Structure 1
């Protein structure tokens, strides 16, 4: 098929949005659109009409609007109708409605959406409504990593600055203490102590006698306290941030710093090294996103988000020592219709192993009786503000979806061989972008002997990321990695951090209905689910 242009126009042929996919001048486009109202009047029972040179494929929309494709006469009419149906779903989804003002306000977004369906030259792409939404959001894992890495570097530099400031403070205090005990005249900020010790080296008792005499002459001891200025100062004041700005924020982390900071481990580099795994690049997602992408304009009166976070601590043999799951149902009313909605969940089917709690403003009585989440007194939800209306939690070792078993072995020749096993422990979960982050204790690259999946090494921080695009019961349910690296400290490889994302919740909660609180009519809504780790590590 070859599509010359795609347009959203009025019944009179006025184009609100028009996208050309072949070279056409403005007069040609305006002439084709101007001829459309005259032709469609003679073919009311059809979805296309032909002229001597082109074919008009159209579909009426609401409010006297038309979705119009102009194609060549040799174009496949079946493919043209399929493209038309897809665009008819895309237009209200992107614009948020089918009114002229919403089309005009979202004209550029609609053009970008048209480009996801049709390529230059007018050829159809293999696209779905879901893939188009994803492409329009332009979510970038690399951008998230970069921003998280910058924040991590700043935090690490601030901690290093405070550590050095504390060391300098202790050195100054020790020096002043030594000066005080030796009876020598201190200098610098302690200029008020010139009378101590005189010009010689008196005995310790004579020095304290002089100090007692000075106390009797002045009302306050603070002026003559040799540690007063040090006690007032704090680490952040001792070293100003301007010093870091001159040197460009230099990090000098030891082994402890590498373990404490997960995101400082991976620098954004382009030298991805796939070994024994699937080809292609890696999109690293480390669990909790540092910066969320800007939300798209709401297309429904109500948005519902079910979120779960899990915190897991494992030992080095893969045993789960503690595991905690916390979930929340967030409601956002986008319009007055959404604010007047009530939400029904499958309360009778929820397991009793989870603990549930409703928001204090939610009517708990009707929730216990019918599983309906609504505000007390029939009040409406606030508009354009996210409200958590239901929480749940679960504490059990069997909730952990993935286990890690790490075995470092010292070869005795200045190198350590590390064997790691990954296993999916829950068959009902599908994990995406699984990243297992390992500190190496050295900046030297590891020598990979065998690997399932892919890996990336960051020589600056001495970290390695073991990556799987997806882990489920059918794909990569288990994996192993074996490598050797220079060193002799087997504790340097811990803690191991694990990140992933999933759209499968551990709690089988489901939205069974969303209706208007007064009329009981259904309220259109958008539901999304996410399951990510809050802190998932093997130590």
Structure 2
């Protein structure tokens, strides 16, 4: 069958919703719809009518509306009638009835529903009404799990907030009672002192009056503290916005001239990544968090001791299937330069461009002398200008897309045992022997707050009952410890709850073999002392 158009129209040929599945201009569609009322008789019960060019397959609806399919004359009439019956069920299910205003309000939803029944070219899909509802709702099991986890964290934050507010109120009341019992001086207004005569010591009633004033003031202060509790004591505030570590630095107006932007941090839209970051699940790969495995906390940054600081950063984004096959892998890197002094601002950076593999794509900043980089592998600013002092700038980027670039493979096999428990076997394997990965954390959702029963494990494990997750941890994964396995059972019947699995790590070895061969002064050619760091981490490493 080939359906040219599907429409909901009035008896006069006015289309409320019309969807074309082949190339047809507006004038032809309007002409075909205008001819339809003239072809059907008032007393006939036929469900189709033909012309020299097309066939009209229609079904009367309520309120003088028609559901109309315009097909070719060679189309199978039996299939056309089946499609018509399915669309007759879809229209009231999506629009909520056959009223003209309801169809107008849900026009786009009806078009999307028509697209689920018929494909481009006018061919019918083998689909049921329930499948159409599911596709229109875009129901996602992962989204349900994420929403449930977020709600549980919000509820836990509210409980913690209420407990803290109650504790603060009890402490305040205890302090007030103690000050009243021990007779500590209490500031009493002059008007109240005059009510009890003389200029001597206040009477007991005066003390009680002062205590009540203080009590009311305390209640007001306590109410303000309760209102401020979610900001101060909400342990999951990191999901909304990061807390400031130090006072905000005053804004500095940059002088006109060179404006170089450093590497923009990738957005972490995954909810599991946000929870892992706030719960310290990802060790050194996530702001020094250790997830309870004793990873060292990074000391506060010391003042730079060299005229120049170079930072080479690489981040990898990997998507794998459940059998361990890599579906997509993308590596992005950047070289950041920070001139700490005027001597560092006059630096010229030389790299091993001739030895860099062509499989990587390289791009210099627009203000960097591209000709010097292409011919000699030298990174410097155009016109002999110096780098800005005290501000990190990105001078070279590189990227690489290949399915063989993923450093770790995860193979997860959940099996329903049939007794209300699921047995899960997971294998981890290092795919590149030239890498040394530190703080490797594999975050596995469990779908339940009950702890897993570990059968065998390489490495370490930690369970987070509040989030319903477990973290499989390795301090180091390298050529000597290149694989590991984990076997556990947990309550449940749905094997899909264990996905997506998130992986994080950190390394000082880059995938791109870029090497800084020299850092010299642009005028004298003398070497410039510098400090260099290399970091390789996972931006988004997921098994789904």
Tell me the TM-score normalized by structure 2. Answer: 0.49
> Bigger relative contact order, structure 1 or 2, given CA contacts below 8 A and separation 6+?
1
TM-score by length of 1: 0.50
